[in-house]
Structure 1
């Protein structure tokens, strides 16, 4: 029976390299990967005020007509397709880190909204949605019962 030495540091370094490669592949495709299969979802920022929910989405490089926004009482769905401008070049090689393709994102909302009164603005690659809360949600007050300390 042969003795095999275990090197925990070597195994940890191997695991670290694997995790790093996983994140690099997700962020920057390797030269052999096909770009048309890579798509991203827009990053979002949500702020809740007493009157409404303000939702910002980062969707650069698109026109407003190419973005589809659908709103229900409890969720927002954003979809679209970032299309590549096809250029014919006789000489040279073009490499890109831009991502093209279809994207879709469904964002559940923490409260019910008036989905018929949503306001939207798309400027400089940022989609701003103002989602007014329903009257029930605006007036919602919860009484908290306090227990005496023992």
Structure 2
């Protein structure tokens, strides 16, 4: 008799747990009916993104055309993807880094015809173990004047 009672209790417990886990979690509590004079305020709308996104192109930024970028002097494997801010006073380098590979960049010479961007890629020492991850980064580069039609020259540095 005890065995039968224990088995029934176990089945009831498993059935109750299984019914709960099918939906993942209990749903929200029902709202009070609208017949009462008090009303529940609606939840606020989702907030706009503050700051820059962690991936992709930020709203308001513009991709710089490949014809406006000179990357001939840049070694293979260096980042070449550039965007500009809406006002044109910031060039943003988009890159992937991870493990022991780190990307940095700075603005070099600026003339009426071109802006030089110096990009450095540091890697691990031979035999050094590195964590296995990749993340997208953006490196903002402030310009003295808006980019306009000037060419962006990418160089190692």
- TM-score, scaled to structure 2: 0.28
Q: Which of the pair has more CA radius of gyration?
A: 2
Structure that is richer in helix per residue:
1
- TM-score, scaled to structure 1: 0.29
